[in-house]
Amino acid sequence: MTPETLLAAISAGFAAFAGLGKALGRFNEKLDKRLYLIEQSVDDLENGMLRDYVLKQDFLREVQSVHQKLDRIWEHMINQKG
């Protein structure tokens, strides 16, 4: 084996490892980006659920309050007739 052949084989090996390293780096970047987007989606979903839940609970509390007031008015009207 001549020194030129050996040097060419070593150079090719280094190039292959460098290319593989670069490809793996890009693959990791894509995975990181997808994971970040998934995390953002989960955060948005959680925030939306919390907001909607609070709004729903506030609404139900208000409706309950209106019902209580209507019940008192109704009782007052019944007591005035009787």
- For residue range 14-66, list pLDDT tens digits in order: 777 778 888 888 988 999 999 999 999 999 988 888 888 888 888 889 999 99
Question: What pLDDT is recorded for position 7?
Answer: 75
pTM: 0.52
According to DSSP, residue 82 is labeled -
Q: How confident is the model at residue 82 (pLDDT cuts 50, 70, 90)?
A: low
Alpha carbon distance 77, 68 (integer Å): 14
pLDDT of residue 72: 92
C-alpha distances (whole Å) from 56 to each of 1, 63, 79 are 80, 10, 34
Q: What percentage of the chain's residues is helix, strand, coil (to nearest 5)? A: 95, 0, 5
